[in-house]
Amino acid sequence: MSNEEGKRRAARAAMRYVENGMVVGVGTGSTVRHFIDALAERRHDIEGTVSSSEQSTRLLKEHGIPVLDLNATGPLPLYVDGADECDPNGCLIKGGGAALTREKIIAAASKRFVCIIDPGKKVDVLGRFPLPIEVIPMARSHVARALVELGGQPVWRDGVTTDNGNWILDVHNLHITDPVSLERELNQITGIVTVGLFARRRADIVLTGETA
């Protein structure tokens, strides 16, 4: 099975968690694109969506799916999103598409987080995929120095500005054996907006193409 087929199958499998009348949180990326295609077939059954990026908002609107404001909806029953890596406990690295901040907000506001990935994203230990971190632009060098002290090798994703007007550092060389405590530690560094480690609020359900 190709990676693309794995993504498509995982995305289709997530539809079983979508119930009539729901407001669905929608992530970002190529796997989520398949989910949006599937959701479009049920657009008249759901109340609407909350989107995690300008990219997903555009796709949702193109499909005629309503996009709502999280401040107006309140807590969501379901969030569906992809990931860059997933460990056996459902802890994730996310942010390859630079949408990590809004993704983390929606994940936090959702009762159930269903993660859709192709099987190649499963790892025993997180860190092979460089950890994305969103930073306030003026703090880029300050944060990078702090990350080096922690043993990481930050690389500025030059030319990328997030939907929130911030920048991304991709941190190489991390072997993340305790994702919860690393997430907590990184959250203490001034200038970091969001760490792409989704450990404290991790996935509740992980669907791969295999399980579909």
Total site size for ligand 5RP, rule CB under 6 A: 17
Task: Please pick, from the candidates 48, 82, 130, 152, the single residue that binds ligand 5RP as defined by CB under 6 A.
Answer: 82
6-45 residues in contact with ligand 5RP (CB under 6 A) are 27-31
Distance CA 41, CA 37 (A): 7
Tell me whether residue 78 or residue 100 sits nearer to ligand 5RP (CB atom): 100
What six digits make up the tokens of 153? 């090798």
Nearer to ligand 5RP, 74 or 107 (CB): 107
| Pick 142 or 212: Cβ nearer ligand 5RP | 212
Q: Does 209 bind ligand 5RP (CB under 6 A)?
A: no
Catalytic annotation on 103? yes
Q: How many angstroms separate the Cα of 212 from the Cα of each of 9, 11, 28, 71? A: 6, 9, 20, 33
- Angle among Cα 75, 66, 35 to the nearest 5 degrees reads 80
166 scored as a contact of ligand 5RP (CB under 6 A): no
The correct pick among 6, 25, 48, 95 for binding ligand 5RP (CB under 6 A) is 95
Question: Any idea which residue has 């993504």 for tokens?
Answer: 7
Q: Report the number of secondary-structure helices (H) and strands (E) in the chain.
A: 7, 12
